[in-house]
Structure 1
Amino acid sequence: KWDKSEYAIFLHDEQVLFDKAIFTLGGRYNYDDASGGSFCLQVGLVVHIKEGASIRASINKGFRSPQINELYMFPPHNEDLKPEEVWNYEVGLSGRIKDVEAELVGYRMKGENMIQLEKNPNPPPKFKFQNTGSFDFKGIELNVRARMAEGLLGTFSYTYLDPGDMTKGRPGDKLDVSLKYSRRKLSLSVKGQYVWDYFAADGKKEKIPDYFVADAKLSYELLPGFLGFLAVDNIFDADYKVYADLPGGKAGLYKMPGRAVTVGLSLKL
């Protein structure tokens, strides 16, 4: 039997400045009977440059106490874990021109005591949850959403991540695209994802092959709230693997399913 209690109190306020900016200030005090207390601060500012365009910046502290499964359950547990703490710094620019919306965000995450499954220096078990020291992640995210024609919506997103030496299971580059067409009772969507600069170990070791995977779904409203659908996952039957951190020493590369076709009915109440 395991038991862990966690309590938190939140304070949050927003103030409008000069009719063009919004200033945000907040705080959270978190207490965990396994990790003690921690105060997290949040400060943010949004400035409307012109109609349809704004720039924003924020700083906040994050806190994550070890979970029960990390402290007590399964062979890799570790009762000596310390809570994760991280400072997030973010700057973003967003805008809209007619039927196109775009957002560009740059961020940095600096923290310590990240909890990860690592090789146990004194096995068994082979792997153990451990605090892996400090970390410094930097990244950029670009998101574009466009209404290309009546009933046709397209999205594009690109994510770049520089995790330093902590590359295990963290793709450096990821590209997502999608198209969705809706007309009356009919809906058709197609999406694809391309992943590269991906590794199964830290220090850019054990490179995982780049991969592209695409899915599609066709649905039709037979009755109000009652849909029939046809879905095809992994359309091109791509042969690819992903890295997963699983408990019980099961972390590692996993082969993903090939092409799968699903026909079904769904009901929305």
Structure 2
Amino acid sequence: MKYSILLLPLGWFFLLQSPLAAQQSDTLGLDQVVVTGTRMAQDASQISSSISVVDKGQLNASGHINVLPALVRHVPGLMVNDRSLLGFGVGPGSGGNISIRGISGSPNNRVLVLIDGQPQFMGIFAHPIADAYQKSDFERVEVIRGAAAVLYGSNAMGGAINLITDKGGKEGWSGQIGAASGSFGTHSFTGKVNFEKGKWQSLVSLNRSKTEGFRKDARDSFENSALFYKLSFQAEENINLMADFQLSDAVYYHPGTLASPLTEDRRAYLRGRVSLGVKNQGDRISGAALFFHNFGNHDFKSGFESTDFSQGFTLYQNLQLIPGQTLTLGIDHNRFGGEAVNPSLPPAAAKGLDITHRINQTDIYLQVEQSIWERLHVNVGLREINNAQFGKSTVPGFGFSYEFNPKYLLKMSSAKAFRSPSVVDLFLFPPSNDALNPETLWNHELTITRSIPDRDLEMDLVFFYTKGDNLIQIDPSESPPVNRNTGAFRNRGLESQVRYSPGETVDLVFNYSFLDVTDNVLFAPRHHLNMQVRRQIGKFSVTPFLQQVFGLNNSPQAEDETIDYTLLNIDLNYQVIENVSCYVLANNLFDTSYQLENGYPMPGINITAGINVEF
């Protein structure tokens, strides 16, 4: 079975070489405009890195209130560690781990999450907070699979997930209200109002979600209230001013493992974000000045408490002074840190108690893109890092894309990425070590895209090789154990995706990834297959989604066996009237018993029903 799955991507590719396919001539999807592969809007075909785009319709169709689970169906090689119907939680034993091509971490700090190109991570542990990203706030998501450090800096080792906030686009008042209820006492509410008049746009959204949890042996309830506000003003034809504010207030009960269930491990966490920016868009010069401040408070019943912050600015300009060439110059400054106390540690081990640690890092970067003969697009980039703790470092990257004709596209890239040591790595609690250097890796990849526009069919086939070095790991030979730059790994594999949309009533998305790793890596299955088909019949639509996973390590113990599982979900939607729809989400219909992380079972069959009203 496993070997037959390996042949699927190649089988799809050769299928597309049939004589019938050769009759087609136009492009499909290759000219989709993205903003994450570079610092400007550009056709995806001209960017050498692998990028997946999930648009607003796909996000809304998922039925999830959180944006991250909605991405898994559409992004090859991406896995998110769920724990329940709603909520991921924070701290040891929580979900929300993001893995791309087997690169994750514990804490989860090797995949960078951005909002409108600005980095989002907890100031002490340097990981994103998955529960802070509500689907209603965003109009699309662009995911770079593979190293993205030249443009986006630290933590973008496995890739970068750029959440692009909703830009409206409809004059006057518009909005949406939604409510849902389902298994295990799960409820959610979403409300969004957008107002646009002339040069102004104002958007506010409120989200409330809650579940009682499904564990009978432990308490695993979750609740979250979230607010998002955005204001933008088109000052001049080429100048746009913007500001936004985001707040998420969550309470999560960590249930513990099946062997050691917990009933009162309460974890409360408040996350906030404020940003200001100005963007300029001209024929030859474009760019932005973005300022951000992220903050958070964590309060656990165990006694752990923390306050953290991450603040800074991003300045960049794209210069198109020579025909076919774009020169991007940028500077990023980030100041991050915080204070944490953990009374469960002995007094001698409570390093950092009542002390706020801060780290300053300033990077400058340059990227040059050159189009040659309108078919060959070459890019070369360099980032120079200046970190107050470990000093200077250099990160290069280069690649090209070549359009053989409107139906064939070839991409190649090699890039270095890094992760700066976090505050907890350096200062807080054992086994911290203030002499650490950044983690690094090199990612190499080759992409072949085959497009058949008249059949509305497109396929990507990506081969990648990633080698990491200098990873921060605990050295148990020391007494007491201490963090050292001793880790290394090698990941290699392939990703395949087929998109087929013959009309407005049918779409198919199929993706498959194969991963070979040298180390025992969590949330990184050897074979991962997703297939989703949407069929529209009048006002009624049905969307089955099948996921197959083989060879998943769900335990850090190398001697434990890997697991396999198959999931089937079905989404049903009915358009009652023009602006009112109702839906039913039926998940895990095979009632599969599985654990993404050893000791933490996933829910069996569960059903959610809801209604959406647009105005």
Q: TM-score per shorter chain, which class? A: 0.7 to 0.9
RMSD across aligned C-alpha pairs, in angstroms? Answer: 3.0
Structure 2 match to 1:265: 611
* Aligned-partner residue type, residue 63 of structure 1: F
Aligned length: 258
CA contact (8 A) 1:167 1:204 kept: no
Shift of 1:165: 3.3
Residues 63-86 of structure 1: CA distance to partner in whole angstroms, max 9, x if unpaired?
111233444557675555432101
Shift of 1:28: 1.8
- Residue 174, structure 1, aligned to residue 528, structure 2: yes
Shift of 1:238: 0.7
- Counterpart CA distance in 1 for 2:588 and 2:483 is 33
CA contact (8 A) 1:196 1:211 kept: yes
CA contact (8 A) 2:400 2:411 kept: yes
- Residue 255, structure 1, aligned to residue 596, structure 2: no
Structure 1 match to 2:573: 219
- The answer to which structure, 1 or 2, has the higher relative contact order (CA under 8 A, 6+ apart) is 2
Structure 1 match to 2:510: 156
- Residue 25, structure 1, aligned to residue 371, structure 2: no
CA contact (8 A) 2:419 2:439 kept: yes
Matched position secondary structure for 2:393: strand
- Cα gap change, 1:75 to 1:257, in 2 (>3 Å): farther
CA contact (8 A) 2:520 2:553 kept: no
Shift of 1:200: 4.0
- Residue 106, structure 1, aligned to residue 456, structure 2: no
- Residue 194, structure 1, aligned to residue 548, structure 2: yes
- Counterpart CA distance in 2 for 1:10 and 1:108 is 25
| Consecutive unaligned residues in structure 1, runs of 5 or more | 244-251
- Counterpart CA distance in 2 for 1:183 and 1:28 is 51
- Cα gap change, 1:111 to 1:145, in 2 (>3 Å): same
- Cα gap change, 1:208 to 1:79, in 2 (>3 Å): farther
Shift of 1:129: 6.4
Structure 2 match to 1:206: 560
| Consecutive unaligned residues in structure 2, runs of 5 or more | 1-355
Provide the TM-score with structure 1 as the length reference. Answer: 0.82
- Cα gap change, 1:167 to 1:19, in 2 (>3 Å): same
Residues 1-33 of structure 1: CA distance to partner in whole angstroms, max 9, x if unpaired?
332223222322221112221111122223332
For structure 1, which segment, 186-195 or 68-77, has the greater mean C-alpha deviation from structure 2 after superposition? Answer: 68-77
Shift of 1:190: 1.7
- Counterpart CA distance in 1 for 2:507 and 2:603 is 28
- Counterpart CA distance in 1 for 2:613 and 2:368 is 40
- Counterpart CA distance in 1 for 2:427 and 2:362 is 20
Residues 101-159 of structure 1: CA distance to partner in whole angstroms, max 9, x if unpaired?
1011101111212346x69567989xx86645222111111111112555111111111
Aligned pairs (5 A) from 1:116-135: 131-135=485-489
- Cα gap change, 1:184 to 1:119, in 2 (>3 Å): farther
- Residue 14, structure 1, aligned to residue 360, structure 2: no
More strand as a share of residues: 1
- Counterpart CA distance in 2 for 1:226 and 1:70 is 50
Aligned pairs (5 A) from 1:87-102: 87-97=442-452, 98-102=455-459
Matched position secondary structure for 1:257: coil
More helix as a share of residues: 2
